Structure 1
Amino acid sequence: MASLSFFSTLSGIAENAKQIAKNSNINFEDHELSHVDLVRLLESNSETGKSEALHFIIVQMMHGEDVSVYFPDVVKLVVSENPEIRRLVHIYLTHYAEFNPDLALLCVNTIQKTLYDKNPLVRATAIRVMSSIRVPAINGIVLLGIQQCMNDSSPLVRQGAALAILKCYSLDPSYYDQLVECIRLLLLDSHPLVVPVALAAFEEVCPDNFAIFHPAFRRICILFSQFSDWDKTVTLKTMIRYARLNLPKPESSSTIHKDLKLLLESVDYCFYSLLPSTVLAGCRAYYYLAPTNELHTIVKPLLQLLSEKLTIRFTTLLYIRHITFSKPELFKGYLNSFFLFGSDDEKTSVLKLQVISHLLDPENANRVLPELFHYVFKHPISKVASTAVRTIGHFAKNARSMTPLCLNSLLRMLKSENDLIVTEAASSLRILIHNDPQETYLQYLASIYEKFHVPLAKAVTLWLISEHLQETIHVAPDLLRIAVKTFANENLEVKYQILDLAVKLYVATLSSEQENEDSNPAFLLYKYVLSIIHFDMSYDLRDRARYYKSLTSAPLTDFTRRILLSSKQLVDSTKETSQSYCLGTTSLCLEDYVQGYVPIPEWADVSILPQDDVRDTEMNINTISSAGPFSFQNTDNVKSLSSETFTEANPYLTSAVKPRFVGQQSLEEFYKSDESSDSEEYEEEESTSEEVTEESEEEENGDDNDGSDDDYENESEESPKKEETETDKTEEYSTTGNANTESSILSTESIVDKSVISAEQNLWRSE
């Protein structure tokens, strides 16, 4: 399927190149057409002049210029017989019809007539243009056009009708009931060009009306492998939401529902796509739908995307970071894939380190910690180095056995000249030491306080000493004395901690036997801090000092001691907040809520789930035409995805996809077995077709006994010709050896009702 999409992409590029080469004769940079020249060319009788003027107007429109002044002259050309001129007029109308509704109404009748054109591309363009003319007065006509085009024989026209539903509903929601019925019929379509657009219309018009979606669910799963890469991405959004609300939650591979299994088998095709967004969409579907023991399927597709270009690598790492937060065991065996490269930019490096922080454990610490220490001291980007410090701190909090090693490393990082490294180290130490206060670490922090040049490091040291005064009662007065000397030049956050340490030290050291407070050094330092704060510029700091002064008016009371000396619970501010957003959303990429964000719904309760028979429907997928430039020849994969119920109900599908064992054979043996199997299948199909034709001829002879002798002679003359053509087809088929294609065509002919074909042929003959 991947090769099919690759060649289809190449063919599209070739067509675009031809179109560019065709229009390259007109060079608008060499000469500028004035308003008078454009009007003259539009009104001329020359098709070349009209085409040149329209090309120039479209180019100016795409550059952002206002060319609405030419609207009356362009509208007249809608009746042109030249398809190129008519196409350019349609493009112009889609942009300016809303601003000129009165003039746009004049060309609606002409566009409506093209709905009956013989060319399906013209019919598809007509319904697209009619729905793009956003004039409420013609919305009823657009609805009639949709109802007509949705029954068209061309899938392009039906696709245009599905796109028109979106525009019709956005302009006038009062047609809700009629549009829902159109969506219901389009969801049951058998062509892969139509169904994805119908799903988009379903999501926009009636996303909660699962009653019309139930019969189409299995059909969509069967057709899923034939969808284009972009269509698969859009389709999976709807399928995930449907499965979570209408299918039971899988606990393991043995208890998975048959319909959910059918969907997951279809999703497997996304992992072989050349488009990264399709691979990510498949991983997203597996993550939210598959049982836990099958999630390993998404690991290798995600790791392969890490070798793509920068934007793809960034998005993939966001997916992996989200997955490893809840299921780190999936990627622990691939830890080396997240080590940094010299070519990684800052954002990619930070995301890799965040993934490593989820995967790091005591078992792989000996391999990962040296790598992290290298990033801290050697990496040229400060942001990456600080993230590595945060990763070490996160690991120390989760692994108690590795805490002493990480603590010693973080204490050494406080002497770094990089402010970001010191800040992250201080933040990690604040949590680690507070959870396990040891006198040795607290004394060390107090001894190097004067060497700190980062405000956060000073604030953390003062906060830890004030919170654990019992362990540091003999070093706290000296630390306060050192801190007060530079109080006026300190950051506001440091000033807060100096005030807190002063008031707590005063209350903790004051005893009932102490009669003279002036002999207490802690009281003198506290009094000095209050006097300095009285002249500080921060009103909040001054208010807090007044509060403490009133509170310490009775320092020996239990109320004062309970407020000031009670231990406080520390909140980890480094906890990731992006994990609350779902995969595949902009909110996850920006790590913030974005308007329009819709989370993945939870699995519905089993008691409210619909019955399985609501998804039973006739799924005649083989009736898709295999001819034409928009056909999909690779139908074998679709048949192999069919469920047991679908296969039993449609036994003709299995005959075209029977696996043939090759083994060690020569080319002659291989093609000989191929021809024999093909001839057997063809004889079976020929016998069934002859029986059907004999029955239909007997019915026609019985009904048309009053026919003329001339008709009977004509039929007798045509019969040997038919036999000759059939024998020619048999000989040609036996020599080709293309078993898969011919068998699918024969199975299609055996399904189609012969009476319907003959009726259509008679209809065309009468016309």
Structure 2
Amino acid sequence: MVDSINRIATALESAKVITREAAAVATSKLGESSYRHYSEGIAPEQLRELLNSRNSREVKDGLRRIIAIIASGEGPIDVETYFSDVVKNITFGEAKIKTLVCIYLQRFAESDPNLALLSINSLQKTLIDGDPEIKALSIKALADIRVSSLHPIVLHSLKKAVSDSSGSVRSEVGFAILKLFIARSDEFAEELLQLLDQLLSDADPQVVSSAVLVLHECFPERLDLLHSHFRYFCSVLHRMDPFAQAAVIDLLIRYCKMFLPRPKVVNSSSETGESVPLPDKYNEILFPVYDTEIHPDLDLFLKSLERLVYSSNATVLLATSNAFLQLATPAQFKKSRLPQALVRAVSSSSNLGVQIILLQSICLLSSIDPTLFLPYVKKFFVLPSDDATVGSLKIKILSILTNESNVKFMVKELKYIISNSKSSALVIAATNSLAVCAMLSPGWEAYIIKGLISNMEIDKLPTAVLGSYVDVIRVLVQRNPKRHLSSIMKLVKVLDARKALSDNARASVVSIVGEIAAFEYKICPDILRKLAGTFAYEGSETRCQILLLSAKLLSYEIEKFKEEQPNETYDFSQSRIAQICQSVVHLASFDEDFDIRDRARAISSLYDTGKYEIATLLFQAPKPSPKMTLINDDMEVGDHIVQQLGDPGLDKFVMEYYKMIPWNDEESNDTDDLRNPATLKDYSRYASSLSGSFTSGSKSSATHIKQESPAGISHTPLASHQGKKYRLQTLDEFFSDIPSTRATKKKIIIQEESSSEEDESDETDGADDGDEDSTDQSSSSSSSISVHNNN
């Protein structure tokens, strides 16, 4: 009785363990968080037993637990100690086991190169496996094992696999070339280039995608390899992988600039038909109406790009926009519908990084040509769900697209952001954009200054926002200080009332007071008197501006004194301004900031030595009006700098990406024979086909296909190994080619006395197996029969 209970308890415990393991395996498919639960209940000895088992099911279980521990990144078991137990399982014939072993090898092959080399022979054997996935995985594993002594073996394997019948295998060869080039570019560059040239001639767009990526990363200067493939790449561009589309577009842009003639712009508004070459800078065509004379190959490339407008990949859209910026006219750029595609990509993307890159690119493109995105200006309104960086970029784009026709609702939108946004970054960006709107007319300038000053009276206003208000007002007031005298006086009152103003903002207000000293001198001494009393408590920038203001007011007073009493000597002791200036200079000479100390000594030296004319030139020189232009027209596209009130500008990558490439006019006279289509290689002939009369064991060379037009490939009829043209078979013909599965075939020959029957038996000897049934029926009535084995 007790033994029975023990057996039942043991069975229940085993069932419990099996159930938990099955549940762990099932839940591991739900996410990476379940990887740890899948392998946490196994001991190291049990895991080793699974890996060393002869049962493929147990080996797969052990390998899955190893991979689960690697994926979770935690666990009490050190999976690296099972290196030899895992690697030896590469000899299993099951595809899943080989896949798991290859994944393990990619991670830990460097830790034990000697043991890793033991698996190379098995990996090489899998290169002749019938499953393309296994062969591709073996190539990937060989290339990922970063052992220097293995590289020649990898190169030898790639030379064999480059003509494989499977496109996925040849595509993996391309990526292996990239890895091998990174590891041993100095030794294998020439041989890898030959393999790459062979892949570039492939008829499979998937293989061409990997080959183009290798060319872009490893041999970017070898544009001459594209001569015979230019038209074919244009025809299959829409069929390539997205990562390869961006690379091939970049290569073809540089190819067109190097080897194709520059387009010509023809003036359509005049009868003479004047034509000029396309300018190096975008949007510098002087003709109001024009036509374009373009090379057929360049036109083919631009037309192939139009199909990529509907791509969902942001990188492809950016590469396409760069191509139209570099090679096309503004009219062609607008007609391509790329601006609409870029705006759509911003709205549809949920990735913050992608949105930022797209918006920065739109910002740069709209700075070059605002008409590209003017129809979609409402798409850049800030949404409540937008990140602060995304919202700031949208506001920057709105400021670039602002003109006299839309300034009214632009100001309304920016004021709404300032009033309702809780993000200080968005409020500062909107304030800076208001300055751009204010420069369109004096009326908008006065309206915006008044609104900003009224907002400064809000009590709970962040210091950074308050400082941005002052900066914008300073920039606008400095354009015409006489017109905004009342606004300056309000700023001075804010300077007294708001002691929490940032040092930069207070310094800006003091500098504005210095600007009005030339025409409203009488109100400045009293302001200086108040500022001198708080000099020791101000920030370094404010102290510097107070020192300059005192020196400037003293120069104005000395100049006025010389005009009224030219023969008299100016007495510093009788002037209150001079005494205030001396007090400020004395305090500044002991300042902790060496720049302020140096300025104080220079000012004291000028006035003590009586060099009043030099002081007048230094302190009364008019400042130039600030320019709020977002783009400096004198710079190249890649060197544009956003100068919008302390804005850090666009990302350097974006500016470098859109940098204009000059046309190489010296090489533009090459003939079209240079781009004659190359002979493409179609390795699908080697693949086994259910409807074909040829097998995968055929040793004939790859079928060559000649391009007849850029739009497609004209395939010549495939020839079998017998030299006949290939044609589809009927169902009866297909089944008639299948050999019998019987090991031996018996042929029954009837022997009769008559000569006529002997002739019939001779015909029976040469009959096919399909006639055996009738022969068997006749043998039942024969008097003597003989049986022969027919193998």
Q: 2: CA distance between counterparts of 1:595 and 1:392? A: 25
- Please give the per-residue CA displacement for 1:547-605, whole angstroms capped at 9, x wherever unaligned: 2212221344422322232234466699579996599xxxx999454799766561322
Amino acid at match of 1:270: L
> 1:264 maps to what in 2?
302
8 Å Cα contact 2:216-2:247 kept in structure 1? no
Counterpart of 1:614 in structure 2 is 674
Percent identical residues: 24
Q: 1:352 and 1:595 mapped to 2: Cα distance?
A: 16
Query: Following TM superposition, by how much is the alpha carbon of 1:181 offset from its aligned partner in structure 2, in angstroms?
Result: 1.1
Q: Distance in 2 between matches of 1:570 and 1:335?
A: 29
More divergent stretch after superposition (224-233 vs 411-420): 411-420
Aligned residues: 637
- The match for 1:634 is none
How far 1:60 moved relative to its partner? 1.7
Find the counterpart in structure 1 of residue 788 from structure 2. Answer: none
Contact kept? 2:163, 2:683, Cα under 8 Å: no
Check if 1:393 corresponds to 2:435: yes
Change in Cα spacing, 1:379 to 1:127, as seen in structure 2 (3 Å) is closer
2:535 equivalent in structure 1: 487
8 Å Cα contact 2:181/2:218 also seen in 1? yes
The structural deviation recorded for 1:207 is 0.9
Which residue number in structure 1 is paired with residue 343 of structure 2? Answer: 303
Deviations 1:491-523 (A, max 9, x none): 221111111111111122123435432221110
- Distance (whole Å) between structure 2 residues aligned to residue 483 and residue 23 of structure 1: 64
Match of 1:423 in 2: 467
Which moves more between the two structures, 550-559 or 137-146? 550-559
Q: Deviations over 1:672-714 (max 9, x none)?
A: xxxxxxxxxxxxx9xx99xx99x967xx9xxxxxxxxxxxxxx
Aligned to 1:43: 52
Match of 1:147 in 2: 159
Q: Structure 1 residues 554 and 569 mapped into 2: Cα distance closer, same or farther (>3 Å)?
A: farther
CA offset digits 1:279-309 (Å, max 9, x no partner):
4443343333332102222122122224322
Is 1:122 aligned to 2:126, yes or no?
no
Whole-angstrom distance in 2 between the partners of 1:140 and 1:262: 41
Shift of 1:612: 3.1
Cα 1:434–1:251, aligned 2, differ >3 Å: closer, same or farther? Answer: farther
Equivalent-residue separation in structure 2 for 1:590 and 1:123 (angstroms): 49
Which SS does the other structure have where 1:208 is aligned?
Answer: coil
SS at match of 2:293: coil
Letter in 2 for 1:336: K
> 2:237 matched to 1:231?
no
Cα distance in structure 2, aligned partners of 1:600 and 1:460 = 36
| CA deviation string 1:446-495 (max 9, x = no partner) | 45542344233332222123244221211110110121222222222111
1-structure distance, mates of 2:119, 2:82: 15
| Contact 1:506-1:522 at 8 Å conserved across structures | yes
Which SS does the other structure have where 2:292 is aligned?
coil
For 1:294, the aligned partner's letter is Q
Whether the aligned pair in 2 keeps the contact of 1:165 and 1:201 (CA below 8 Å) is yes
Q: Is the 8 A contact 1:361 1:399 kept in 2?
A: no
3-state DSSP of counterpart to 1:172: helix
For the residues of structure 1 that align with 2:682 and 2:143, how far apart are their CA atoms?
31
**Structure 1 residues 321 and 407, CA, compared in 2 at 3 Å: closer, same or farther?**
same
| In 2: Cα distance, 1:42 partner to 1:623 partner | 39
Residue 254 of structure 1: SS of its match in structure 2?
Answer: strand
1:101 aligns with 2:113: yes
Instruction: Report if the CA contact (8 A) 1:180-1:205 is conserved.
Output: no
Paired position in structure 1 for 2:496: 450
The equivalent of 1:473 in structure 2 is 521
Write the mapping of 1:201-600 to structure 2, written as runs, cut at 5 A.
201-250=214-263, 254-296=292-334, 297-308=337-348, 309=350, 311=352, 312-397=354-439, 399=441, 402-417=444-459, 418=461, 419-438=463-482, 440-441=484-485, 442-446=488-492, 448-453=494-499, 454=501, 455-510=503-558, 511-512=561-562, 513-569=568-624, 591-593=650-652, 600=659
In the TM superposition, 1:24-43 aligns within 5 A as: 28-29=37-38, 31-43=40-52
SS at match of 1:474: helix
Q: Distance in 1 between matches of 2:728 and 2:497?
A: 106
Which structure 1 residue ranges, 5 or more long, are not aligned? 1-16, 630-644, 657-684, 701-718, 729-767
Which of these two proteins has the greater Rg computed from alpha carbons? 2
More helix by share: 1
Contact 2:110–2:145 (Cα < 8 Å) also in 1 = yes
Other structure's SS at 1:567 match? coil
> Separation in 1 of the partners of 2:521 and 2:467?
26
> SS in structure 2 opposite 1:211?
helix
AA matched with 2:101: V
Contact 1:415 1:422 in 2 (8 A): no
Verify the 8 A CA contact 1:26 1:52 in the aligned structure 2: no
CA distance in 1, matches of 2:191, 2:489: 78
2:160 maps to 1:186 = no
Q: Which moved more, 1:218-227 or 1:616-625?
A: 616-625
Which digits, 9 at most, give the CA deviation of each residue in 1:177-223, with x for residues without a partner?
A: 11111111111111011011101111222110112122122111111
Structure 2: segments with no counterpart, 5+ residues: 1-25, 266-290, 563-567, 641-646, 690-705, 737-791
The one-letter code of the counterpart of 2:63 is L
CA displacement 1:151-174 (0-9 Å, x = unmatched): 111111111111110111112111
Distance 1:28 1:120 in 2: 33
Q: Would the alpha carbon gap of residues 21 and 347 (structure 1) be closer, same or farther in structure 2, given more than 3 Å must change?
A: closer
| Change beyond 3 A, Cα 1:590–1:233 | farther
What root-mean-square deviation, in Å, do the aligned CA atoms of Structure 1 and Structure 2 show?
A: 4.0
Larger proportion of strand = 2
Q: 1:526 and 1:50, CA in 2 relative to 1: closer, same or farther beyond 3 A?
A: same
- The structure 1 residue matched to 2:190, chosen from 164, 177, 182, is 177
Q: Deviations over 1:713-733 (max 9, x none)?
A: xxxxxx99979759x9xxxxx
1:52 aligns with 2:61: yes
Paired letter, 1:431? V
What does residue 675 of structure 1 align with? none
1:158 aligned partner, one-letter code:
R
1:359 deviates by: 0.7
